[in-house]
Structure 1
């Protein structure tokens, strides 16, 4: 079996291609079942977000990623050759490493963003509910959740601001240590304002008011975060309520002047106001920054915070990669051990089959009245020969052909030259006896056990 990740993201495909390959909630279960019904796949999980679509599957070792690429194209009614240049494929070790990076936020558009881990967990849960995540992918995804948690705990990957909205909220938390009793007035309703509202909400802001020229758009943003919407014409009336003001509109002229802020401060009895103007051109008159009890920051002020945050996250990402490399190797060691488990099971089944044949023959001989001592000796002799025959033939051939590595491996495998005690109450022939002494005959109770079909 082989692990494969096939996908595309914001770095490899434009938005129109990504849109065509998205798996929505209405099709994801059918897609998972279709994927695992494919002749070359036994397990499957699909991660689909606005920035990436990735298919995780367990393949037959001889299968190729082209077969999964063709399935992906057919499912979405897209020519596989059209999407081929935008796809990446990772196998085994590289696949494990890639998933750990994705879950830890190292492959995100915003380095270190935490939302992706929740999306990975949801994808895994959907696959579990659909019955398409088996032993291997189950172990891999549980492993990746643990590693992502360690990356968050042991590095500063998510602690530094790397967007204007995040930087604004980080500064607000420095000025107001407890946001739960504060009111935030957000001017505008675009992506930056929505992101600021999200960060404020996550940090427990008391109230959110969203002001916009179009009240309907303001309501769409405010309703997500238990806030309420007002028209831009009502801005001055609500300004005295605001402890935090974040503005980001496309207005060619300022929407907040010095006079309006002065009046608001009087009503507030000069309680401080924290104001962030992210707009270009500016939304807040520069003279507002000269007022007492006002902390006014602009895009240029925040850019330094963002740049420093990016440097900090890149340093944390390097630390995170060390953790990921270590745990990738750990998972691959477990994966390789599965081959040994299968080999051991096959070897034991062969040995047990030979044993059962020999015991059945011995029982027939005992039933026919043959001497128990003779039967036991013949059983031991034949059983030993049958179990050792194939390895002995291969070792002799290796000696003739000069395969010293195979001979050395056999020496280690069989621990030759070492005293080895067998499991349970049985003892390896010669153990505990003097060199050259013949192994004692089996006691009577052993004979009875063999005659009765035991052993």
Structure 2
């Protein structure tokens, strides 16, 4: 089996493509079962965030094409439409990629910490679906350990830069005094909670949290003196919102153009700043065409994010060195699996020979031969049988001038310096 990762992210695919190739929490389990139903796919983890969708798997040869076709086919998207945006990494490159992702080195926001939680969640889901095995499990556990090392040993996360921070920074550029503004936050996940925290620290006047589960909305709102509503109540409160920031896992938009138009009329066309962090998008793209609405998507935040990245560049170089070291460490473990298989096969063969000779020795004892004679037979015969195959191959290597095999045998059996190989007969 070989390790493989296939996916697309904010660097390779525009939001219009990314939002069509996402896996919401409600479909990942079914997707994993479907993927593993394909021949040659033995283990799999699906990581799906607003900036990336990736499939990590252990496959037989030919697995790359299988997964490439499955990724678009599962979503009903033509292979030709998706394939140009996909990247694939195998073996060491796949290991390095996951380590970089877990450390935040491949994120839109360099070093952002949220991705590690998302990677852990993706692995936990795959494990609960029995979609992981020895190879992928060891890889992800290794990635978690490396991410912890990077966080501890470098300053990669020292600057307050994230998608949430970028969204609030943009709001501050548009509204000089946030204390006079009302913010409606749609969703109640980790990103929205981070947005609420940044807004609260910047003195936002009022926070409304809208979520499918009102209880969860209450949990977030209560931390920042806000109040909670259900998604179905958004239309009744939207006119109060100067700032709208949305990040849900909904497969369809939760805020349409008509609803925003009605809110603008009630606001008498006072401007409304909106940031849609979700992929697929929560706010219909047509909303951007409305006068007095300033709508930004997650891709539009890149410029704001770039300004906060300079302090992380040196730390990122240190992190890359740590990743490279630990990627090689994992590959060493992976190579050791080949040795384990050889050792198991060799041991099995030796045990078979032992049992065969032992059975013959027992029969000689039963036939009345003396114990010393039988022990001598056992030792002599077993030694000859164990050494026959390697001795024959070493003689052949010497005849054919294969010095590397003789040197390897010398190292393997911890013997003295190997004699020069004889030249092959003319």
TM-score, normalised by the number of residues in structure 2: 0.70
In the alignment, does 2:194 pair up with 1:198? yes
1:317-336 maps to which residues of 2 (within 5 A)?
Answer: 317-336=316-335
Ranges in structure 2 where 5+ consecutive residues have no aligned partner: 170-177, 212-216, 229-236, 243-263, 273-291, 293-301, 418-426
Note the alpha carbon deviations across 1:46-85, whole angstroms, 9 max, x for none. Answer: 111122111111112x334112212223322222232111
Residue aligning to 1:7: 7
**Aligned-residue offset at 1:121:** 0.6
Name the larger-Rg structure. Answer: 1
**Aligned-residue offset at 1:321:** 0.5
Q: Residues 252, 18 of structure 1: CA spacing in aligned structure 2 closer, same or farther, 3 A cutoff?
A: same
* In structure 2, C-alpha distance between the alignment counterparts of 1:332 and 1:365, rounded to whole Å: 50
Q: Residues 163, 101 of structure 1: CA spacing in aligned structure 2 closer, same or farther, 3 A cutoff?
A: closer
* In structure 2, C-alpha distance between the alignment counterparts of 1:254 and 1:17, rounded to whole Å: 30
CA contact (8 A) 2:164 2:194 kept: no
Residue aligning to 2:41: 41
1:119-134 maps to which residues of 2 (within 5 A)?
Answer: 119-134=118-133
**Aligned-residue offset at 1:163:** 6.2
**Aligned-residue offset at 1:15:** 1.9
- Higher RCO, Cα 8 Å, sep 6+: 2
Residue aligning to 1:243: none
Q: Please report the RMSD computed on the Cα atoms of aligned residues, expressed in angstroms.
A: 3.7
Note the alpha carbon deviations across 1:78-125, whole angstroms, 9 max, x for none. Answer: 222321111111111111110011111111111111111111111011
Query: Which has the larger displacement, 114-123 or 303-312?
Result: 303-312
SS at match of 1:220: strand
Count of aligned pairs between the two proteins: 339
1:109-148 maps to which residues of 2 (within 5 A)?
Answer: 109-148=108-147
Residue aligning to 1:396: 395
Ranges in structure 1 where 5+ consecutive residues have no aligned partner: 171-182, 212-217, 236-248, 256-280, 282-302, 419-455
* In structure 1, C-alpha distance between the alignment counterparts of 2:193 and 2:122, rounded to whole Å: 26
SS at match of 2:394: helix
Q: Residues 167, 40 of structure 1: CA spacing in aligned structure 2 closer, same or farther, 3 A cutoff?
A: closer
In the alignment, does 2:210 pair up with 1:220? yes
* In structure 2, C-alpha distance between the alignment counterparts of 1:251 and 1:145, rounded to whole Å: 51
**Aligned-residue offset at 1:343:** 1.0
Residue aligning to 1:425: none
Q: Residues 85, 399 of structure 1: CA spacing in aligned structure 2 closer, same or farther, 3 A cutoff?
A: same
Residue aligning to 2:420: none
**Aligned-residue offset at 1:394:** 1.0
* In structure 1, C-alpha distance between the alignment counterparts of 2:366 and 2:199, rounded to whole Å: 83
Residue aligning to 1:210: 206
TM-score, normalised by the number of residues in structure 1: 0.66
CA contact (8 A) 2:184 2:238 kept: no
**Aligned-residue offset at 1:129:** 0.6
**Aligned-residue offset at 1:251:** 11
